[in-house]
Structure 1
Amino acid sequence: MTSAPVGRPWQRPELRDDGTRHRPVGWVELFFDLVFVVIIAVLAHDLEQHIESVGLLTFLLQFVAVFWVWNGFTYYTERFESAGLENRLFVFLAILAVAGLAVWGEDGLGHNYLGFAIAYLAARALNIALWLRAAIHVPRFRRAAWSFAAGFAVAGILILISFVVDEQWRLLLWAAAVVADIASPAVTQRFQADLPPISRDKFPERFGLFTMILLGETIAGVIRGAAESNAESGLSATTLLEAALGLAIGFGLWWLYFDFIARRPTRPVFTVALLWVYLHIAAMASIVVVGAGIAAGIAGDETLPLPGPVSAFLFGGLGAALIAFGLLELTLDRNDNEPTHPRLSPALKFVVGAGLVAVAVAQPAMSTTAAFVIAIAALAVQASYGAIVYYRQR
């Protein structure tokens, strides 16, 4: 991992240019990511209790905001990481803000809105302050930093206005604020094009670790669903089978992401890398939605068909995840030894993903077991293709 700190205890920001040198993820970054385990668990559990369109909308609005907090600090570390004590202080302050997101995360756009919104503003304000601090010492980053600050200023004004309006307007203002915040990097292309490229190992690895947190919550949802069934009436053979199938769906998602996406870096072009980040929002949110569908299916009445909203979450989330995975593949760099086909591999995900979305819309009556089997079959198509081309190459 990272070597012992050297140099001044309090260090100025310096733009990193590591070239192709391997940069491992540091212990402080791993500790920072642990805090997001809690907020993701809160959002996922809240979603499991509200398997309907409004619950999905509020989850997405909260999830995008939480992801952007994580991404902001992750990208700052990518550009200006240091071994100084100031880095640890700033990380701890960020942890406090993220902890606030978790404390007020449940119904965070409802009765807990004030606390959740203030925690978001605090986290983003700290991140923006770090960018502006870096801009003071690194002139070539100033325009990008000011663009980030401008986007946050617009978001902050909208959120402050949302404190004094009705709930329906509050959601619209929150959505507009988050969009303004996450869109700000898109206008910095000309400012960042000549900056050192992002690392080809550490930055993708951070996204892989965050994806692992989301997959872990999917597994936790399966276990919670089985535990609830056990507490109510004991574990039946059907529930045990459904739990095993639910774990298989989570395993399949892990297989696809880490076989097709995580093992390759994005192309070294700023606009492509930014698209890669945005597509991760869709992929990651879809994983949580799938997990909520699995948990609700296991906890439901096994004598009845899978409820329509649960079916929509399961198949719609899985279809969206596959489509996002396919789009992510198109952003990745390829070398001469890459075994997957540049068009066939993503096309498989698009076709099967679109089919799953169609099932989500139709909501045909079926048992939970049958729905889980269909989901596993959809994942198995992709995993089988990957296994064939990967092992054939060897």
Structure 2
Amino acid sequence: MQAPGSNQRGAWQRAVLRDDADAHRPVGWVELFIDLVFVVIISVLAHGLEDSAHSEPLLRFVLQFVAVFWVWNGFTYYTERFESHGLENRLFTFLGILTVAGLAVWGEDGLGHNYLGFAASFLLARGLNMVMWLRAGRHEPRFRRAAAGFTAGYGASFALIGVSLAVDEAWRLALWGFAVLVDIAAPAVTARFQFGLPGISRDKFPERFGLLTLIVLGEVVASVIQGVATANEATDVSVPTIADAILGLAIGFGLWWVYFDFVARRPTKPDFVIALVWVYLHIAMLIGMVIVGVSISEALLSREEGASGTILPAIGITLVAIALLELTLDRAADEPTGARLSPLLKAGIGVALMLLASVATPYSATTVLSVGVAALAIPAAYGARVYYRHPARG
């Protein structure tokens, strides 16, 4: 099937709602290119989380990360609905890259002394997204009400952040948090306008989220390696540190294994609300993954017991999010994983890790990392057992 727009004449093409959810659509090179800029901002936010996972900066990180994720999701969802091969698509992408670059430049302490630059970059990103939605609604009558809903929601968020520029830091943080909540709630408000529209692609949209997850997992790997490198600069790296780094990389590999074997290979159920829940759950999962990477890096730098206290709860949050994600996925007739056993296994392990971490007794980094590896090995082993015994693995 040809993409809408491929039969249009001229370099500048109208916004046409795609109607090829069941057709194979590869991720385009221009989409991969804009994701490179998000690599930078995620790295900046992760760096800002170091040495602060037990204090207010953790809340700031979450608020910044959710905002950045929703900028990425806004561009991704527009492309999902209105992708074309015209010059307008490349122009919007480049303008989006500029706004995300601004988020990265002012991302460190972006809700503190860099707030003006970070907030202005976010507003520019949101303003661009609103222009894109208004253009889509103008050209595509079927999407007009949804576009108006998106624009109204993002406009309310836009106004709240605008007001936050004129108040003190305490109120600024509260307004930013409220604005982010309004921002991510906008699609839910438009849900009734999207019933009856063409479905979301069953391969490309999940693949985009898989690629973003790889970016975050790449940050986990980078955090582990940088932790070892920093430890080596301070004092010659020791055998225990190397052993812990191997365990840390094994945790990153285990997170990759569990997500891509149980979630990324399957589409969501063909329902807009369920797909939206799937998007929201990715936020929690990705935040958990970033915290895992930063926590492992800190554990490698500090050999004191208790320095790795956020690793297990972060893995637990990630596993619970993955378990809930499984419940949103479509099940083929030959799906080898258990509809209840598979998510319950991950949720149970995740809750157990969070309960274990709540015990006041401090644990050494090696103990915590070993527990993390063992926890991820259980669902990975379960997956290997059912997949390789089943001839029709997805």
TM-score in same-fold range (> 0.5): yes
Q: Give per-residue Cα distances to partners, 1:15-37, cap 9 Å, x unaligned.
A: 00014110000000000100000
For 1:97, the equivalent position in structure 2 comes to 99
Q: 1:120 aligned to 2:131?
A: no
How many angstroms does 1:161 deviate by? 1.3
Amino acid at match of 1:330: L
Secondary structure at 2:283 match in 1: helix
Normalised TM-score (structure 1): 0.96
| Residue number among 15, 26, 34 corresponding to 2:36 in the alignment | 34
How many angstroms does 1:215 deviate by? 0.1
For 2:359, the equivalent position in structure 1 comes to 362
CA distance in 1 between partners of 2:273 and 2:94 (Å): 31
CA distance in 1 between partners of 2:360 and 2:55 (Å): 14
| Residue number among 217, 231, 236 corresponding to 2:219 in the alignment | 217
Amino acid at match of 1:384: A
For 1:305, the equivalent position in structure 2 comes to 305
For 1:20, the equivalent position in structure 2 comes to 22
| Residue number among 368, 375, 379 corresponding to 2:376 in the alignment | 379
For 1:326, the equivalent position in structure 2 comes to 323
Q: 1:76 aligned to 2:73?
A: no
Percent of matched pairs sharing the same residue: 60
Amino acid at match of 1:325: I
How many angstroms does 1:361 deviate by? 2.0
Amino acid at match of 2:143: F
Q: 1:351 aligned to 2:343?
A: no
For 1:59, the equivalent position in structure 2 comes to 61
For 1:201, the equivalent position in structure 2 comes to 203
How many angstroms does 1:144 deviate by? 0.6
How many angstroms does 1:153 deviate by? 1.5
Amino acid at match of 1:305: E
For 2:270, the equivalent position in structure 1 comes to 268
For 1:145, the equivalent position in structure 2 comes to 147
Normalised TM-score (structure 2): 0.96
CA distance in 2 between partners of 1:5 and 1:156 (Å): 34
Amino acid at match of 2:337: T
CA distance in 1 between partners of 2:272 and 2:346 (Å): 25
How many angstroms does 1:49 deviate by? 3.2
Matches within 5 A, 1:237-248: 237-248=239-250
Any unmatched runs of 5+ in structure 1? Answer: none
CA distance in 2 between partners of 1:226 and 1:219 (Å): 11
CA distance in 1 between partners of 2:6 and 2:23 (Å): 18
How many angstroms does 1:140 deviate by? 1.0
CA distance in 2 between partners of 1:53 and 1:235 (Å): 29
CA distance in 2 between partners of 1:19 and 1:146 (Å): 23
Q: Give per-residue Cα distances to partners, 1:260-292, cap 9 Å, x unaligned.
A: 000000001000000000011111111001111
Secondary structure at 1:365 match in 2: coil
How many angstroms does 1:315 deviate by? 1.2
How many angstroms does 1:190 deviate by? 1.6
CA distance in 2 between partners of 1:393 and 1:276 (Å): 26
Q: Give per-residue Cα distances to partners, 1:322-364, cap 9 Å, x unaligned.
A: 0000000000000111010000100011111111111222242
How many angstroms does 1:51 deviate by? 2.3
Report the more deviating stretch, 5-14 or 31-40.
5-14
How many angstroms does 1:169 deviate by? 1.1
How many angstroms does 1:389 deviate by? 0.9
For 2:252, the equivalent position in structure 1 comes to 250
| Residue number among 361, 369, 391 corresponding to 2:388 in the alignment | 391
CA distance in 2 between partners of 1:67 and 1:363 (Å): 33
CA distance in 2 between partners of 1:91 and 1:169 (Å): 33
Amino acid at match of 1:340: T
Amino acid at match of 1:320: I
For 1:10, the equivalent position in structure 2 comes to 12
CA distance in 2 between partners of 1:54 and 1:135 (Å): 40
Matches within 5 A, 1:170-185: 170-185=172-187
Amino acid at match of 1:16: R
- Count matched residues: 388
Q: Give per-residue Cα distances to partners, 1:198-217, cap 9 Å, x unaligned.
A: 00000000000000000000
CA distance in 2 between partners of 1:256 and 1:169 (Å): 40
Contact 2:44–2:108 (Cα < 8 Å) also in 1: yes
Q: Give per-residue Cα distances to partners, 1:270-317, cap 9 Å, x unaligned.
A: 0000000001111111100111111110111x2x2132xx41x21111
Any unmatched runs of 5+ in structure 2? Answer: none
CA distance in 2 between partners of 1:97 and 1:241 (Å): 41
Contact 2:269–2:329 (Cα < 8 Å) also in 1: yes
* Runs of 4+ that moved beyond 4 A: 2-6
CA distance in 2 between partners of 1:111 and 1:129 (Å): 29
CA distance in 1 between partners of 2:115 and 2:230 (Å): 29
CA distance in 2 between partners of 1:351 and 1:123 (Å): 39
Amino acid at match of 2:306: L
CA distance in 2 between partners of 1:29 and 1:339 (Å): 32
For 1:315, the equivalent position in structure 2 comes to 312
Report the more deviating stretch, 59-68 or 349-358.
349-358
CA distance in 1 between partners of 2:68 and 2:254 (Å): 25
Secondary structure at 1:50 match in 2: coil
How many angstroms does 1:78 deviate by? 0.3
